[in-house]
Structure 1
């Protein structure tokens, strides 16, 4: 098949197959794939599915997984994400809202589930990666020091850790917004950005990506583009880190401060600044009767490891994890 024929009927069918594989944590065979395609209104015989899977194998999008089954590869996941991008504008904001809605964590009882990010690291490089992250966690350039680790074949959120990899879960900033939502405070998810800090104090956002206009998580994009200097910021107090901007109803400020204090006692922080009613915050305008809130990106420690030259695949907002499964970074 000519790979340049993007948007062709055959190419669309291949993407549909890859999408189904990307939504499964287990290998799928041609029979199962054909049935799921039929549910989406795409009718392919098992033989036709096998034909497309052969092409997917040749391109490195899939690999054998068990008897007659296929699993999607990281390259295949990227292909699906890029191919479906035009359909997914605003997808990140919707995903964040969903993560917040599904967060059940109770900071008083310290029970329930939190939203996480998942980072896949070569098992051979895992200890080196942890070493590179150490300063960022120590400087609290993170949402929380609480993390979880999974070996190959295990899951973190919705992500199955592939062969040769170790998964690291970090607490996602949407967890904070989920706790606020349960307290009756809705969040407007504005954008993810690069936050410049000096002496550990925020100065300004030097780059922003509006959630409404992207299909890819901003933090993933900034890390991939090597736009951060988290390691330097952790050591010196000055640098460029991952930050996010939200707004909240101004009358809820008291409830917000109360919940943030409860979260902090439970080991979850990551709120850098809370603004005043209708006032700009670090040069970002805020609407009437709302307050701005700057939060740290949950992937900041991982960004420090990437800066150190370690290859890492990040899946932001990858799912939920029970609070009891998390442990302090120092225990790894």
Structure 2
């Protein structure tokens, strides 16, 4: 027999707002920011106090309100009356900075959250899937439409399906600013969700710059490992000006992003069945696949027992918008969105 001891941390109010710099936060405040960051909507002081208690921090709602008052003073949150409080853009940027070491690598804590929260059913083709997002100025929207229609006819994207968000609409921490239109497209990280729910461990190991010539895949010319980075490698390649997806759409030759995903070799037949189902659901974009990673492509001894997929990046859909200088407000694997609300581009681009 043994006695179970439960330890609680009792936190008292402290006047931190006038004493601490932006680089320092009491533990309670840091956890409040963390909870709000991973929440889909506003949270009340009572809800926050419950979340904090579950994390071993015993405070009452009045203490939470005290901290929220000072966080709002510094522009990190916005209080919405009885609805609760939510992070501002400054607050999102601040907590992402504070969590920088927890966000290294893929899957990061954000990606893990999205994979866990997804309820996509491959058999019914319903539920929430992972999406990329881009904001474009309303006065440049007409120039965006033909770019998206052209790229939707290629096979270098995950899916042609799109959704449109109007100004002030939001998903998680992506809020469309006044004077802008938000566009959502399916992320290639959706493969990870679907395979995991099908009992197959699919690992995204790297993303790179992939060469096509006359619509024939030629292979990678550059690769960025997913280990040791907090920014999507695909986002880096597109924003950095390495891609030429617009040229690929018009000539069949150029550079696009693609991801390498590995799985156990003995699940290859299951993998093919999943890919066939996804194709029927308007999700495709596979450049290469094999039950065995070729010896010249192995990076460690464990790769000899693995199969692999090379899938085109979902963000290739929006790359021409960045390449032509219309907008650089691209965010990859931004949130989840119901696939049944997404439509063929001809039906949503008006």
What TM bracket, shorter-length normalisation?
0.7 to 0.9
1:87–1:8 distance in 2 versus 1, CA, 3 Å: same
Partner of 2:317: 301
1:311 aligned to which of 327, 336, 339: 327
Contact (CA 8 Å) 2:135, 2:182: kept in 1 or not? yes
d(CA) in 1 for partners of 2:43, 2:108: 30
Contact (CA 8 Å) 1:104, 1:178: kept in 2 or not? no
1:76–1:166 distance in 2 versus 1, CA, 3 Å: farther
Q: How does 1:76-91 map to 2 (within 5 A)?
A: 76-90=91-105
Give how far 1:199 is off.
2.2
Q: Report the secondary structure of 1:167's partner residue.
A: strand
Provide Cα deviations, 1:292-313, integer angstroms capped at 9, x if missing partner: 2101111111121111112243
Q: Report the secondary structure of 1:213's partner residue.
A: coil
Q: Report the secondary structure of 2:318's partner residue.
A: helix
Give how far 1:229 is off.
1.8
d(CA) in 1 for partners of 2:109, 2:84: 32
d(CA) in 2 for partners of 1:69, 1:249: 46
**Structure 1 vs Structure 2 CA RMSD:** 3.6
Give how far 1:218 is off.
2.1
Give how far 1:17 is off.
5.5
Contact (CA 8 Å) 2:72, 2:78: kept in 1 or not? no
Report whether the alignment pairs 1:172 with 2:191.
no
d(CA) in 2 for partners of 1:197, 1:102: 35
Give how far 1:284 is off.
5.5
Give how far 1:142 is off.
0.8
Partner of 1:208: 223
Contact (CA 8 Å) 1:25, 1:160: kept in 2 or not? no
1:77–1:132 distance in 2 versus 1, CA, 3 Å: farther
Q: How many residues align?
A: 324
Give how far 1:19 is off.
4.0
Partner of 1:51: 70
TM-score (norm 1): 0.79
d(CA) in 1 for partners of 2:64, 2:86: 19
TM-score (norm 2): 0.76
d(CA) in 2 for partners of 1:47, 1:183: 46
Partner of 2:201: 186
User: Which structure has the larger Rg?
Assistant: 2
Give how far 1:272 is off.
0.9
1:222–1:69 distance in 2 versus 1, CA, 3 Å: farther
Q: Report the secondary structure of 1:92's partner residue.
A: coil
d(CA) in 2 for partners of 1:172, 1:195: 17
Provide Cα deviations, 1:137-180, integer angstroms capped at 9, x if missing partner: 22232100111222234444x34534424322211212233333
Partner of 2:346: 330
Contact (CA 8 Å) 2:212, 2:252: kept in 1 or not? yes
Report whether the alignment pairs 1:289 with 2:305.
yes
Question: Which 5+ residue runs of structure 1 have no aligned equivalent?
Answer: none
User: 219-228 vs 96-105, which deviates more?
Assistant: 96-105
Contact (CA 8 Å) 1:147, 1:170: kept in 2 or not? yes
Contact (CA 8 Å) 1:105, 1:111: kept in 2 or not? yes
Partner of 2:153: 138
d(CA) in 1 for partners of 2:119, 2:79: 37
1:250–1:25 distance in 2 versus 1, CA, 3 Å: closer
Partner of 2:251: 236
Q: Report the secondary structure of 2:125's partner residue.
A: coil
Report whether the alignment pairs 1:161 with 2:180.
no
Question: Which 5+ residue runs of structure 2 have no aligned equivalent?
Answer: 1-16
Contact (CA 8 Å) 1:33, 1:49: kept in 2 or not? no
Provide Cα deviations, 1:175-234, integer angstroms capped at 9, x if missing partner: 233333344322122122222322223333333332232223222333333332211222
Give how far 1:323 is off.
2.8
